[in-house]
Amino acid sequence: MQRKKLLDLLTEYYNQQGGRTFSLKQLNKYYQDYSIIGINGNTPQATIRRLLQELRNNNMLTFLPEQGFYTLGGKNLDFLWFFQILSG
């Protein structure tokens, strides 16, 4: 559930910022409080990193290690939109 909510936040970020590439630092600055997706605990940053890794492993994100950036949806953003429609 948190993974889907994070994906929703990433899609919102993409729509607001007009770019699909972001760093964890940029994401943290934009979303100063991750409790909106149910991340409350003592280690929210570790949870966000874990969720980003899961999204990467499911080919929803690409990580660019040289720059420390993520790319939302890899090459096919239409698939991301379709996934959102199916997920309701």
Mean pLDDT by 10 residues, the chain (88 residues): 86 83 87 82 88 90 86 58 48
- What's the CA gap between 22 and 31, in Å, rounded? 12
pTM, two decimals, is 0.75
Q: What integer pLDDT is reported at residue 87 of this predicted model? A: 54
Partnered with residue 62 across adjacent β-strands are: 71
Q: What integer pLDDT is reported at residue 53 of this predicted model? A: 92
Domains of the chain: 2-87 (1.10.10.10)
